[in-house]
Amino acid sequence: MFQESELDEHTCDMDAPHERSSFWGRGTASESSLEGVWKTLWTGVGQVSQRMLFQSMFPTSLCYYSVQEYPGVQGFVSLTVDDAPGQLGPQASKIDDVRSLLAANEAHATFFVISDFVEGFEDKLHQLVEDGHELANHCTSDRSFFLDWEGDFEEALLKAERTISAICPPERKWFRAPKGLLSVFMMRALGRHNYTHVLCDCYANDPEIGDAEFISNHVLQSVESGSIIIIHTPETGLREWNLNALELILEGLKLRQLQAVTLTELSKKAEEGGRNSAPWSLSVFHDTEAPIANNSTNSWWPSLGWSSYDAQAQSSTNGWWPSLGWSSYDAQAQSDNLNLGIWDNVGDLHCASSFFDHEPPLLATDTANEEAQSLHHSGIEGGPSEGSPG
């Protein structure tokens, strides 16, 4: 849709300074000194399975739907657009260009909205919804809430929810933490308000890398049925390259016979297609069983093989991932964190650690906690979790 000559008209002056940049120091054309470093890093990331990597790093988040477990997602992926509708205001907006690209490719997307950016965009957001796209919660501002107290984050979460619901009440409650940083406090607040935290298995660090072809190639080499893609909202003067990257991604999805849909559409496909049983997982303890701390809440154990983990609170999907060594789990869901990847050499084994196949520890009920404790002591972790995805 956008030829190179046409894009030149929309491209900002590559040498012009701009007061806005990304959280990590990029996002504008003038701040490009680290692009080579980022490309090298993300090329390395591309050599491993992003699906496995992201789910192991963020085990309590929805990163994808496995087609082996949810056959209904065959041929479908979810396209998600962050930082909508844009932080530089309507005068810099490229929402109409994004809408045109999506319409031309018969694609739908979930737009993660930062509520402080909404003023002046109300009509355009209504148009997105009328086109069949959906709006989701990306909180109130483009900053990390990782260090906020629980009440402060909850207040911001609900403020953003009210702003988004005034445009169109969401059918399902999706949330993505700004900067991808999710704390225990944030998880508890999300659980109380029935949000599912969503990340991805296809991402190319597009705020830092201003190369549309690199971004699209990186995404497309990772994408498969059930994938969740992240790309950030392009604006005049901020991440403009993402408009061209989005076009290339959509073209690549067509060639792979993959249809881009919203998160809600993908979760419904998963539900409608049914859920296949996943193999049981075995957690291997020492002969003396896993040591228990004096307060009887923290258990430490080595876990071998592949394990499944219910990645969403309340309902959800199982993610499969590799992990090495020792893992910890605090059975008191209201008090502590979980740790994956406390690395320990286990010969040549690449191990997987899993907690239990019910609800995530930090959003679990007391009953689930008791079940989890029983399962840990027995050394056998149960079969697939119950409930529907998303």
Percent of all residues in the chain with a pLDDT value above 70, rounded to a whole number: 63
pLDDT recorded at residue 119: 97
Strand-pair partners of 310: 318
Average pLDDT over residues 352-356: 32
How sure is the predictor about 151, in pLDDT bands with cuts at 50, 70 and 90? very high
For the chain, domains (ranges, CATH) are: 4-271 (3.20.20.370), 281-381 (no CATH)
Q: Which of 29-38, 107-116, 354-363 has the lowest mean pLDDT?
A: 354-363
Between CA 300 and CA 192 the distance in angstroms is 28
H or E element in which residue 104 lies:
helix 95-104
pLDDT recorded at residue 163: 98
Between CA 257 and CA 236 the distance in angstroms is 31
Residues 6+ apart with CB under 8 A from 209: 26, 35, 38, 39, 42, 215
* DSSP state letters, 304-358: -S-EEEE-SSSS--EEEE---SEEEEES-TTT---EEEE----TT--------SS
331: Cα separation from own chain's centroid = 25
pLDDT recorded at residue 283: 32
320: Cα separation from own chain's centroid = 15
Average pLDDT over residues 332-347: 32
- What is the reported pTM? 0.69
pLDDT recorded at residue 28: 53
Strand-pair partners of 232: 82
How sure is the predictor about 43, in pLDDT bands with cuts at 50, 70 and 90? confident
pLDDT recorded at residue 224: 97
Q: Which of 18-32, 121-135, 247-261, 321-335 has the lowest mean pLDDT?
A: 321-335
- Note the pLDDT tens digit of each residue in 165-213: 999 999 999 999 999 999 999 999 999 999 999 999 999 999 999 999 9
Average pLDDT over residues 324-347: 33
How sure is the predictor about 278, in pLDDT bands with cuts at 50, 70 and 90? low
